[in-house]
Structure 1
Amino acid sequence: MPLAENGHRGSQNNIGVFYSKGYYVNKDFEKAFYWFHKSAENGNPNAMQNVADMYFRGEGVEESCPKALEFYIKGYHSGNIASAFTLGRLYRLGECVELDIEKSSYYFSEAAKSDSEYGLISKAYMYYYGIGVPKDYKKSLMIFNELDKFYDINEVSFYLAIIYYNGFGTEKDYEKSYSYYKIAYEHGSKESGYSIAYMAYKNQTEIDPVEAFNILLANAKGGHKRSQKLLSVFYEEGFGVDKDLEKAAYWEKQLKVQ
């Protein structure tokens, strides 16, 4: 702690990690954000990525796409490979930014120059989407599976879930898909929560309908549009909850709220 208080940026970032993960201390996102931000102000590229992630997820600070984007860009320009990868993903999916395939390709290509885990995941993305290389789901799956053995990365679980759900480069496997969606959801992926609820609705997993409804409701309250749409259906059909056409109409209207 004395090093961090005296401005040592590495120590400041480490304390942020301790608070964000609950290592040796009680988990406290506000304190984690404070120390990450201190470290970022002192020029730590890893802390810039961490600050961006917290703005993106609204952990310890009010959710803000513009601020998240600001710090991801700062991280990228400071040499953080994870920031380059994240920018590629955001521009590819149109999250927090307008969908822009050209910018997505640029950032993925920049990250892929590295042999780090985020360089490898960028290569997996490039094969998955056909960015700068021919689309090849089998190569993408091979890289994602290798990453899954050694790294606990939310994005890896999320894309393995999609691959096994759709049978991209392999046979469809709903059980594997659900298990990977569950991991990604537990790491904060709202899209994975939506997918779990959708699989329950389609009877593709044995998850309890009430549990699926609760996941969807939390997502919808957090502003996830696809969850709001499906939640409206749950209320309309009485799936996992008592049928309530008024609430169904309410969530349908929320789709139009920015």
Structure 2
Amino acid sequence: MSAQIPQPNELHQFLVPETVWETYQRAKSGNAESQYAMYAVYRYGRGVDVDPVQSAAWCLLSAEQGYPDAQTALGVIFNNGEGVEQSCTEAVKWFTKAAEQGDVYAMDNLAAAYYYGDGVEKSFAEAVKWWTKAAEDDHADSQLKLATAYYLAEGSDRNVPEAIKWFKKSTEKHSRDAMRSLGKIYREGDGVEKDAAEALKWYSLLAKEGDGEAQFIVGEMYLAGEGTEADRDAAINWFRLAAEYDYDPALEKLKELGVEE
């Protein structure tokens, strides 16, 4: 599992060297936010040398006071073994604390831990539970991961309608993976009734994002009249676009059609 850490907030991101001492004094006095700021100082080298051990120590102090950003960051620290002995179990412990306070990054990381069984017993139900919470809070990565989990699951865990719901939500943030998955689902009729026109819609959106494979597929669909009226000229235009993105099958298709690039 590759854990994700939230970017420092405005206070931490723009912390300048002349304020580090003041922040340190507040942190030493027990201010949780300042302790988290000191974590950021040492993690990102804000006016000091990067020091994973110091960074982890300040993060722990803040996390122990219940500061959710610090708890999430500490989960990442333990997950990756940055300045501490690596421990997925400790990572899960801190992700859980932050997730229970509503931190979407922690929810996303906790869901992944349950999904892959990192530091905790593998549980599809728990993974879906936490990804759903984060997805409902509009966390883009979680929306895509939730959709993918439902789509790739086996047996009774598989839920294509839910996968489609979250893939569509993810496309609102221009997720290419979500567009590709929707195109595939509708073109193949995988868990839903085949709908070539709907497949063409999603592949076309992806193609317009500059995806060579999608451009090629749209070309194929126009050539075969799949989901639309057959249109050789439109197909060739899409194959040419895909070829410009060095998509080899498009180059081969143009040669097969006797068309110059």
TM-score (norm 2): 0.54
Q: Partner residue of 1:210?
A: 125
Higher relative contact order (CA 8 A, sep 6+): 2
Q: 1:133 maps to which residue?
A: 48
1:257 equivalent among 165, 172, 193: 172
User: Is residue 2:29 matched to residue 1:115?
Assistant: no
Deviations 1:21-41 (CA, angstroms, capped at 9, x unpaired): xxxxxxxxxxxxxxxxxxxxx
Aligned counterparts of 1:216 and 1:132: Cα–Cα separation in 2:
37
Superposed displacement of residue 142, structure 1? 1.6
Give the aligned partner of residue 135 of structure 2: 220
Structure 1 residue 164, shift from structure 2 partner: 0.1
Residue in structure 2 matched with residue 179 of structure 1 by the alignment: 93
Equivalence for 2:8? 89
CA distance in structure 1 between the aligned counterparts of 2:47 and 2:21, rounded to whole angstroms: 12
Q: Distance in 1 between matches of 2:97 and 2:156?
A: 25
**Structure 2, gaps ≥5 residues long:** 1-6, 174-261
SS in 1 for 2:8: helix
Answer whether contact 2:72 2:106 (CA < 8 A) is retained.
yes
TM-score by length of 1: 0.55
User: Structure 2: which amino acid aligns with 1:89?
Assistant: P
Match of 2:84 among 170, 174, 190: 170
Q: Where does the alignment leave 5 or more consecutive residues of structure 1 unmatched?
A: 1-87, 94-100
Partner of 1:157 in structure 2? Answer: 71
Opposite residue 165 of structure 1, the aligned amino acid is: N
Code of the aligned partner of 1:112: T
How big is the shift at 1:165?
Answer: 0.4
Identity rate, percent: 20
Per-residue CA deviation, residues 205-241 of structure 1 (Å, 9 max, x unaligned), is 2153212212211221221111101101111112796
Cα distance, 1:121 vs structure 2: 2.1
